[in-house]
């Protein structure tokens, strides 16, 4: 494919994975019909034995994936909305994340859990959650959150091939919004690496998912004002690419961390701590976080949703303040 949306990049990757390995299979709610976002559309017809509908029971979906992976299969579980994954939290926390550790590396668990996450689609409180901080807290699970189609494609391949459990987060706002020329596009192929998407000298913006897209747009606005920003796409949230983060911050001397999860307990706090611990002497200003306010859930009304979510204008304002410090 020449130009692809995020959905097209994911679908083609899943198609190729099922074709290449008969052990691979997709399971989830309504995946045979394509799923609620039509990501798996057409895959049941091409791979009838490898695309399986399940009941509406996330704990069972994840539990079946754990058992299948233990017995040598390559399950790719779909959670219809990331908001629903908490029903399977105990399976991920108490079983999947500890599998390799408790067997001293004698047994691996090659499974992927795909989950559409994030706001910006007027989904309200039950269809807009940012769940990444909960699961990035589990050392035995890798957490991936790309932004561009080429990275979705390459990192989904890497996730399926990985012997560890991987939570693969797909920002639903990017599904059809973000398109990319795939031929020659930069793409990270290894889990655990970040990428400097834009080089700058004045400050570093660290982001992922939709906020990476918004941060790049803010950086272009700021460039016209004479503020030159580096933008780092974290890509993998567990494990973080600490060296790339620190190298960029040491170069610019200022760091702005952006995520749409709530501020308190969000991933930005961990990143800020890493910078303070390992790059303090290079800082020319306090580390700044821009995140959603600490309210229980995404509001339904579009104006309140806009208030809740960081965007390019809010990022640009925060970066201006940081640059002027």
Instruction: Give the CA count within 13 Å in the CB-facing half-sphere of 86.
Output: 10
Cα-flanking dihedrals φ and ψ of residue 85, to 5°?
Answer: -70, -20
Residue appearing with tokens 């913006």:
205
Cβ neighbours of 218 (radius 10 Å): 30
Comparing CA positions, the residue from 271, 280, 286 lying closest to residue 211 is 271
Q: CB-based contacts of 117: which residues, under 8 Å, 6+ apart?
A: 81, 82, 129, 130, 131, 132, 145, 169, 170, 171, 172, 209
Q: Cα separation of 55 and 27, whole Å? A: 10
- Please name the residue that has the structure tokens 């749409």: 260
Q: Is 278 tagged catalytic?
A: no
Cα 276 from chain centre: 24
Positive or negative, the CA dihedral 195, 196, 198, 203 is positive
The number of residues making up the chain comes to 325
Question: Beta strands 51-53 and 74-78: pairing type?
Answer: unpaired
Catalytically annotated residue among 70, 86, 127, 302: 127
Instruction: Spell out the residues 6+ positions from residue 153 whose beta carbon is closer than 8 angstroms to its own.
Output: 4, 9, 10, 12, 13, 182, 187
Which residues are known catalytic residues? 127
């Amino acid at each position: 494919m020449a130009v692809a949306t995020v959905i097209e990049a994911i679908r083609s990757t899943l198609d190729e994975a099922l074709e290449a390995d008969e052990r691979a299979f997709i399971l989830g709610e309504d995946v045979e019909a394509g799923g609620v976002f039509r990501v798996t559309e057409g895959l049941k017809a091409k791979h009838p034995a490898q695309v399986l509908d399940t009941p509406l029971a996330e704990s069972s979906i994840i539990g079946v994936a754990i058992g299948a992976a233990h017995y040598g299969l390559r399950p790719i579980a779909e959670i219809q909305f990331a908001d629903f994954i908490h029903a399977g939290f105990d399976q991920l926390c108490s079983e999947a994340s500890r599998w390799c550790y408790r067997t001293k590396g004698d047994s691996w668990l090659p499974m992927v859990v795909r989950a559409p996450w994030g706001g910006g689609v007027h989904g309200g409180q039950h269809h807009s959650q940012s769940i990444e901080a909960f699961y990035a807290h589990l050392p035995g699970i890798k957490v991936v959150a790309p932004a561009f189609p080429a990275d979705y494609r390459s990192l989904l391949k890497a996730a399926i091939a990985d012997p560890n459990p991987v939570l693969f987060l797909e920002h639903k706002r990017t599904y059809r919004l973000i398109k990319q020329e795939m031929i020659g596009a930069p793409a990270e192929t290894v889990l655990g690496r970040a990428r400097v998407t834009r080089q700058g000298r004045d400050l570093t913006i660290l982001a992922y998912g939709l906020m990476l897209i918004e941060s790049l747009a803010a950086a272009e606005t700021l460039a016209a004002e004479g503020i030159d920003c580096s933008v780092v796409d974290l890509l993998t949230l567990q494990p973080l690419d600490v060296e790339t983060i620190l190298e960029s911050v040491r170069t610019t001397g200022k760091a702005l961390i952006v995520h749409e999860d709530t501020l308190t307990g969000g991933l930005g706090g961990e990143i800020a701590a890493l910078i303070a611990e390992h790059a303090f002497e290079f800082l020319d200003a306090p580390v700044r976080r821009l995140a959603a306010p600490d309210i229980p859930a995404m509001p339904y009304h579009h104006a309140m949703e806009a208030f809740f979510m960081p965007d390019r204008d809010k990022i640009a304002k925060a970066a201006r303040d940081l640059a002027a410090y």
